């Protein structure tokens, strides 16, 4: 039972990282119906910024984390402005946006390979807290931090979207961008803000990932981003609670597979779950069927 509980908690800790990244996917898709495959590489960017600030510049952890969040938010805005805005404003087909997103992903990977090299970089320890003991159960501090931070971020994002003025603009743009413009909403600024928030969440996910797995590679965003996208689709893409639920399910499934089946089959089980869910409920676990009048 202790092994089962330990693996479940480890899975929730890993799933918290997937959930934070999936929130960015869901936000962008909910506003502009764009699957931003470059989002996974923002995680890599955030990790390298933390490493650069802590090791090269010698800044304390809190400054490195804030710097990474701000840098990734700015990077998200620049990516939206340079790569996507013209396509979105001119009604480009989705395949063009998808190809552009893949191009941005490849550009970021190669840029950071040129700057930092292709070899893995070790990240110094961030949160030096001892494990928490509950009876005979030992819980790693990184697991607790991941779960608490992800829940707090989800609550904050929920309040932002549903209670703030910008959140109302985001929901209006998602429902009907044309009508939102007629009501005086600057949809370009709203979309840019959405990219900024999603990229900032990816930076937080990068910090949690580096604290749990202290190693960085320029291509690390590939699989992380793909699994986070699977989590978003699994929970219902466009749904904030769905992204969180999908991330947790994915993390627990991955942890159980490593513990009880085989670590070689982890990815197969993860994507197998996605296939089963899409066959039974194509909109995801918390997604809604949307009827479109023509």
Q: What is the pLDDT of residues 198-249, one digit of tens each?
A: 999 999 989 998 888 888 999 888 888 888 888 888 888 878 888 889 999 9
Q: What is the pLDDT of residue 118?
A: 85
Mean pLDDT of 190-204: 91
Domain containing residue 156: CATH number:
1.10.3470
Mean pLDDT of 85-108: 88
Q: What is the pLDDT of residue 193?
A: 92
Mean pLDDT of 114-130: 85
Using one digit for the tens of pLDDT, what is the confidence trace for 24-65? Answer: 888 888 888 888 888 889 999 999 999 999 988 888 888 999
Q: Is residue 286 part of a domain?
A: no
Q: Is the pLDDT of residue 270 over 90?
A: no
Q: What is the pLDDT of residue 71?
A: 95
Domain that holds residue 28: 2-280
Cβ count near 208 (within 10 Å): 25
Which region holds residue 36: left if phi is over 0, alpha if psi is between -120 and 50, else beta?
beta
Q: Is residue 293 part of a domain?
A: no
Mean pLDDT of 282-294: 66
DSSP states along the chain? -HHHHHHHHHHHHHHHHHHHHHHHHHHHHHHH----TTHHHHHHHHHHHHHIIIIIS---HHHHHHHHHHHHHHHHHHHIIIIIHHHHHTT--HHHHHHHHHHHHHHHHHHHHHHH-SS-EE-------PPEEETTEEE-HHHHHHHHHHHHHHHHHHHHHHHSHHHHHHHHHHH-HHHHHHTT--HHHHHHHHHHHHHHHHHHHHHHHHHHS-EE-TTTHHHHHHHHHHHHHHH-TT-HHHHHHHHHHHHHHHHHIIIII-GGGHHHHHHHHHHHHHHH-TT-SS--------
Q: Is residue 285 part of a domain?
A: no
**pLDDT tier for residue 294 given thresholds of 50, 70 and 90:** very low
Quote the longest CA-to-CA distance of the chain.
61
Q: Is residue 292 part of a domain?
A: no
Q: What is the pLDDT of residue 291?
A: 54
Q: Is the pLDDT of residue 149 over 60?
A: yes
Structure tokens at 61: 């952890």
Q: Is residue 294 part of a domain?
A: no
Phi, psi of 292 (to 5 degrees): -110, 125
Mean pLDDT of 261-271: 85
- Residue 43 CB-density burial (10 A; 0-12 exposed, 13-18 middle, 19+ buried): buried
% the chain with pLDDT above 90: 22
Are 264 and 254 in contact by the 8 Å Cβ rule? The answer is no
Q: Is the pLDDT of residue 292 over 60?
A: no
- 137's CB contacts (< 8 A; 6+ apart) are 2, 5, 6
Structure tokens at 278: 């899409």
Q: What is the mean pLDDT of the chain?
A: 86
The count of structural domains within the chain is 1
Q: What is the pLDDT of residue 240?
A: 83
**pLDDT tier for residue 288 given thresholds of 50, 70 and 90:** low
Mean pLDDT of 78-105: 88
Q: Is the pLDDT of residue 111 over 90?
A: yes
C-alpha closest to that of 26 among 212, 194, 223: 194
Q: Is residue 47 part of a domain?
A: yes
Q: Which residue has the tokens 């707090």?
A: 152
Q: Is residue 288 part of a domain?
A: no
Structure tokens at 123: 């990240």
Q: Is the pLDDT of residue 133 over 80?
A: no
Q: Is residue 260 part of a domain?
A: yes
């Amino acid at each position: 039972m202790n092994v089962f509980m330990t693996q479940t908690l480890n899975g929730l800790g890993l799933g918290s990282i997937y959930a934070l990244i999936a929130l960015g996917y869901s936000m962008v898709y909910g506003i502009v119906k764009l699957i931003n495959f470059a989002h996974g590489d923002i995680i890599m960017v955030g990790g390298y910024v933390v490493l650069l600030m802590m090791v090269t510049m010698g800044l304390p952890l809190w400054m490195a984390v804030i710097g990474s969040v701000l840098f990734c938010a700015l990077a998200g805005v620049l990516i939206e402005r340079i790569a996507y805005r013209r396509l979105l404003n001119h009604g480009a087909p989705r395949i063009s946006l998808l190809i552009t997103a893949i191009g941005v992903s490849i550009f970021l990977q190669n840029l950071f390979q040129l700057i930092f090299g292709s070899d893995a970089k070790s990240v110094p320890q961030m949160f030096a807290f001892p494990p928490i003991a509950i009876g005979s159960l030992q819980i790693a501090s990184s697991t607790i931090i991941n779960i608490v931070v992800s829940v707090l971020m989800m609550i904050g994002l929920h309040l932002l979207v549903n209670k703030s003025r910008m959140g109302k603009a985001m929901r209006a743009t998602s429902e009907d961008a044309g009508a939102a413009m007629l009501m005086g909403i600057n949809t370009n600024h709203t979309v840019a803000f959405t990219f900024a928030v999603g990229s900032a969440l990816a930076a937080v996910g990068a910090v949690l990932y580096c604290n749990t797995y202290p190693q960085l590679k320029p291509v690390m965003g590939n699989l992380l981003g793909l699994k986070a996208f699977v989590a978003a689709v699994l929970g219902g893409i466009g749904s904030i609670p769905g992204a969180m639920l999908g991330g947790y399910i994915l993390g627990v499934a991955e942890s159980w597979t490593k513990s009880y089946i085989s670590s070689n089959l982890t990815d197969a089980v993860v994507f197998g779950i996605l296939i089963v869910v899409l066959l039974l409920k194509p909109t995801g676990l918390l997604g809604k069927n949307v009827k479109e009048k023509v």
